[in-house]
């Protein structure tokens, strides 16, 4: 029977579990019927260990619910980053790591593998039952560190000489790390750098700060890597809603990040359909970089052109591969002291244009691939929408029905209006 | 690539323990505090015992170490590439840091590789030299614990002069704006950085009485429909608040706590879900929604 550890080997498993705890906080032990109860207990215990102060418990007739609740305006650093610092390792890994960097303590120290092995034995001779590292283990570890960029090598005749990589001479970057570790893609890397800083000063706070994307950092980094190399990738796309997985072969073109719902989508070319499509980054896993494609620049340019018709992440083509757009326009009334509403229209619109009809009426007009993506935004103008037309009549009908439903829901009768 | 033990909390804790041991600090209480500060809730049960027992052969039983140097690790390629990517962002100018040492490093991503498609268009002027200078002055004041004197334009267009304690800088990704949270100047609590027209360190004799601002909170309960994937959309949309969801009969009840100054914004955010989300509590919040709907009804759409 394996014993419990707060460290894990495979992050992918926990990625899903954490999302369940964070996004759907209402699940109890019984809801995790797919997994054994022991596995549930271990996973919950790990989460408590990593995110203790943010875990909450509620008892109800269905049992005890465990969930994660975080006010990210109060937390200065993304608590989920901790979960990416819980990779398991062997006793040999950690011992070898610190001894190797003690031996290669400066970039001036250059040693061959036999010399390193000899020195390792000296370090270990201080212990009663010294570990034994054979040549192949140490060579493998050095190779791993060369790939990570922390060890360099050079050939000298038949010998391979190793040394620690030099670190660029950077000034104090604490402010940069405090800020960008929270707002830049793959911010957890900034958090790794912050861990090495002695100074813990932090002058920044964040509002409208979505933190779940931390769990997708590994996937995102690989997608960026693929874009830098202009590569095709293969990936597994698992819909959490239908619980089905599909293998994809796509060309990643650009990541679309939302700061209004925290979701991240990959816009990618899918040769199978000869179309650019969007994929939720949190649904992607098993990313593998394949061969570079000469079409990358052309496909990315195509996406850039399409962006002038995209409100969100949806791209629509008809069967002849022509982009098909939908027309939308709505007018709002603006009182004399409500200039901020016009400002809202101007700064919140992503495409389209705003025109003044008269002193108290403004019209927004756009042509987009999917008008339904705009509905939540249009609803934020409820209280002043005087007219509305969509070329997609079904969506317009639904919008009007929804407003009627809201009147009923809140008991608003004709006479009150 | 990212999930690697060399970035792990345990490795960080061990590096700090070895540093302490090299400095002759072998007090177990202190070493355990290092573990608590750098690792996880139950790490105390593993880290120090593994070192003391020789499971990890880095510290001898007498709490000395055969290691001779304070543990350090060079920046990994991934870290350099991420920093290089950050150096391409326009906001980096606010920090007055020379990152030319990263010349020749391939960025992990470029501004072409991603787009924040729903941030508002009137973000702060990061290219404006005056704005950059004022931002730097605020940052310097906070680092050195000094007060500042501001000249700013109010919402009504009036010029206002304020002496205050800069508490923290708050950034909104949605608004793409920095706000300065202050104390010690009564009515002015939060100032949009872009509204500041002059900023100087205050070296006068007047003592600014200040207490860090405390946020007031408001609680609401929403009834969330099971239709159109609303629960997931709603939970993600409000993910950055303290919240709790529970199953009810044919729907979900979502409890959200938010800072009072977010109330007007919360009203329109709840409205954006249409009839799929209904406000159950508080009465005050419900009335705000109802008022909007009554006004809408009068528009005769």
The CATH number of residue B238's host domain is 3.30.70.240
**10 Å Cβ neighbour count for A390?**
21
**And the tokens for B17?**
């323990």
**B197 assigned to some structural domain:** yes
Same domain assignment for residues B9 and B44: yes
Q: How confident is the model at residue A3 (pLDDT cuts 50, 70, 90)?
A: confident
**B212 assigned to some structural domain:** no
3-state helix, strand, coil in chain A (%, to 5): 40, 25, 30
Residue in chain B lying closest to A66 (CA): B244
Report percent pLDDT > 70 for chain B. 98
Instruction: State the average pLDDT for chain A.
Output: 90
- Residue A1's pLDDT is 44
Are the Cβ atoms of B97 and A171 closer than 8 angstroms? Answer: yes
A60, B244 contact by CB (below 8 A): no
Beta-carbon pairs below 8 A across chains A and B: 400
**B208 assigned to some structural domain:** no
Same domain assignment for residues B163 and B225: no
**B264 assigned to some structural domain:** yes
A66, A21 contact by CB (below 8 A): yes
Are the Cβ atoms of A184 and B56 closer than 8 angstroms? Answer: no
What CATH code is assigned to A213-309? 2.30.30
Residue B290: domain span: 217-297
Are the Cβ atoms of B97 and A50 closer than 8 angstroms? Answer: no
How does pLDDT run across A97-118, given as a tens digit for each residue? 999 999 999 999 999 999 999 9
Boundary-marking domain end, from B173, B202, B231: B202
Query: Taking residues B116-138, what's their average pLDDT?
Result: 96
**B138 assigned to some structural domain:** yes
Weakest mean pLDDT among A39-53, A395-409, B171-185: A39-53
- Residue A158's pLDDT is 87
- Chain A residues in contact with B286 by the CB 8 A cut-off are 410
The CATH number of residue B184's host domain is 2.30.30
Please name the member of A99, A209, A388 whose beta carbon is closest to the beta carbon of B301.
A388
- Residue A37's pLDDT is 63
Please name the member of A98, A221, A409 whose beta carbon is closest to the beta carbon of B1.
A221
Topology (CATH level 3) of domain A91-164? Arc Repressor Mutant, subunit A (1.10.10)
- Residue A43's pLDDT is 82
Q: Which of A235, A219, A234 is nearest to A281 (CA)?
A: A219
**B121 assigned to some structural domain:** no
Query: Taking residues B230-241, what's their average pLDDT?
Result: 86
φ, ψ of residue A328 in degrees (nearest 5): -140, 135
- Chain B residues in contact with A52 by the CB 8 A cut-off are 41
Residue in chain B lying closest to A28 (CA): B246
Query: Taking residues B198-217, what's their average pLDDT?
Result: 78
**B120 assigned to some structural domain:** no
How does pLDDT run across A375-411, given as a tens digit for each residue? 999 999 999 999 999 999 999 999 999 999 999 999 9
Boundary-marking domain end, from B157, B175, B202: B202
Same domain assignment for residues B221 and B293: yes
- Domain ranges in chain A? 11-79, 91-164, 174-203, 213-309, 326-416
Of A55 and B167, the structure prediction assigns the larger pLDDT to: B167
CATH of A326-416, one of 3.30.70, 3.40.1710, 3.50.50, 3.30.810: 3.30.70
The number of domains in chain B is 4
- Give the gap in angstroms from C-alpha A60 to the nearest C-alpha of chain B: 9
Q: Please state whether the predicted TM-score (pTM) of the whole model is above 0.90.
A: yes
Please name the member of B43, B54, B246 whose beta carbon is closest to the beta carbon of A6.
B43
Same domain assignment for residues B293 and B222: yes
How does pLDDT run across A316-354, given as a tens digit for each residue? 766 666 668 999 999 999 999 999 999 999 999 999 999
> Rounded distance, CA A392 to CA B44, Å?
61
pLDDT at B7 over 90: yes
Please name the member of B12, B57, B290 whose beta carbon is closest to the beta carbon of A195.
B12
Same domain assignment for residues B225 and B293: yes
- Give the gap in angstroms from C-alpha B258 to the nearest C-alpha of chain A: 8
Same domain assignment for residues B133 and B66: no
């Amino acid at each position: 029977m394996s014993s419990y550890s707060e460290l894990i080997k495979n992050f992918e498993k926990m990625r899903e579990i954490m999302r369940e705890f964070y996004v759907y906080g209402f699940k109890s032990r019984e809801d995790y019927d797919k997994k054994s109860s022991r596995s549930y207990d271990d996973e919950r215990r790990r989460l408590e260990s990593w995110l203790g102060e943010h875990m909450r418990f509620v008892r109800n007739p269905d049992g005890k619910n465990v969930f994660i609740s975080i006010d990210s305006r109060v937390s200065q650093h993304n608590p989920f980053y901790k979960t990416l610092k819980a990779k398991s390792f062997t006793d040999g890994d950690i011992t070898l790591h610190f001894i190797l960097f003690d031996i290669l303590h400066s970039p001036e120290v250059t040693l061959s593998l036999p010399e390193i092995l000899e020195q390792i034995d000296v370090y270990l001779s201080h212990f009663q039952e010294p570990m034994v590292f054979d040549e192949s283990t140490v060579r493998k570890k050095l190779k791993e560190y060369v790939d990570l960029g922390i060890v360099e090598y050079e050939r000298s005749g038949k010998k391979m000489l190793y040394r620690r990589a030099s670190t660029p001479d950077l000034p104090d970057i604490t402010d940069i790390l405090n800020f960008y570790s929270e707002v830049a893609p793959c911010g957890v890397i900034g958090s790794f750098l912050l861990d090495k800083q002695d100074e813990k000063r932090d002058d920044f706070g964040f509002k409208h700060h979505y933190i779940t994307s931390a769990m997708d950092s590994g996937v995102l980094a690989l997608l960026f890597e693929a874009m830098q190399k202009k590569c095709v990738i293969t990936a597994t796309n698992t819909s959490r809603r239908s619980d089905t997985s599909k293998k994809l072969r796509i060309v990643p073109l650009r990541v679309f990040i939302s700061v209004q719902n925290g979701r991240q989508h990959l816009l990618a070319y899918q040769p199978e359909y000869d179309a650019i499509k969007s994929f939720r980054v949190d649904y992607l896993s098993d990313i593998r970089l394949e061969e570079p494609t000469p079409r990358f620049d052309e496909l990315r340019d195509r996406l850039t052109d399409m962006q002038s018709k995209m409100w969100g992440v949806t791209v629509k083509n008809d069967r002849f591969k022509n982009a098909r757009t939908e027309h939308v326009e709505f007018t709002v009334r603006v009182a004399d002291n409500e200039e901020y509403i016009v400002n809202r229209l101007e700064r919140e619109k992503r495409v389209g244009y705003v025109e003044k009809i008269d002193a108290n009426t403004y019209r927004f007009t756009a042509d987009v691939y999917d008008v339904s993506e705009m509905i939540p935004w249009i609803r934020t103008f409820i209280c002043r929408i005087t007219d509305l037309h969509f070329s997609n009549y079904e969506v317009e009908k639904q919008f009007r029905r929804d407003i009627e439903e809201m009147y009923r829901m809140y008991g608003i009768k004709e006479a009150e209006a | 690539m990212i999930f690697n033990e060399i970035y792990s909390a345990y490795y960080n804790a061990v590096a700090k323990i070895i540093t302490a041991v090299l400095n002759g600090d072998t007090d177990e209480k202190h070493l355990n505090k290092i573990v608590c500060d750098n690792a996880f809730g139950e790490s105390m049960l593993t880290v120090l015992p593994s070192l003391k027992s020789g499971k990890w052969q880095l510290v001898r039983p007498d709490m000395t170490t055969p290691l001779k140097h304070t543990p350090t690790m060079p920046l990994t390629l991934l870290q350099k590439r991420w920093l290089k990517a950050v150096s391409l962002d326009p906001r980096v100018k606010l920090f007055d840091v020379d990152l030319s040492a990263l010349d020749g490093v391939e960025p992990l991503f470029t501004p072409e590789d991603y787009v924040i498609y729903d941030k508002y268009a009137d973000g702060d002027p990061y290219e404006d030299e005056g704005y950059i200078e004022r931002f730097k002055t605020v940052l310097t004041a906070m680092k050195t614990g000094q007060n500042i004197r501001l000249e700013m334009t109010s919402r009504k267009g009036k010029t206002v002069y304020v002496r205050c304690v800069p508490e923290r800088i708050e950034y909104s990704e949605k608004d793409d704006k920095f706000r300065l949270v202050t104390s010690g100047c009564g009515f002015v609590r939060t100032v949009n950085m872009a509204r500041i027209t002059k900023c100087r360190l205050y070296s006068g004799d007047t003592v600014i009485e200040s207490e860090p601002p405390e946020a007031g909170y408001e609680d609401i309960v929403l009834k969330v429909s099971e239709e159109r994937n609303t629960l997931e959309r709603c939970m993600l949309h409000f993910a950055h608040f303290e919240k709790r969801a529970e199953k009810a009969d044919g729907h979900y009840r979502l409890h959200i706590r938010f800072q009072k100054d977010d109330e007007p914004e919360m009203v329109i955010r709840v409205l954006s879900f249409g009839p799929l989300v209904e406000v159950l509590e508080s009465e005050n919040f419900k009335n705000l929604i109802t008022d909007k709907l009554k006004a809408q009804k009068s528009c005769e759409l």
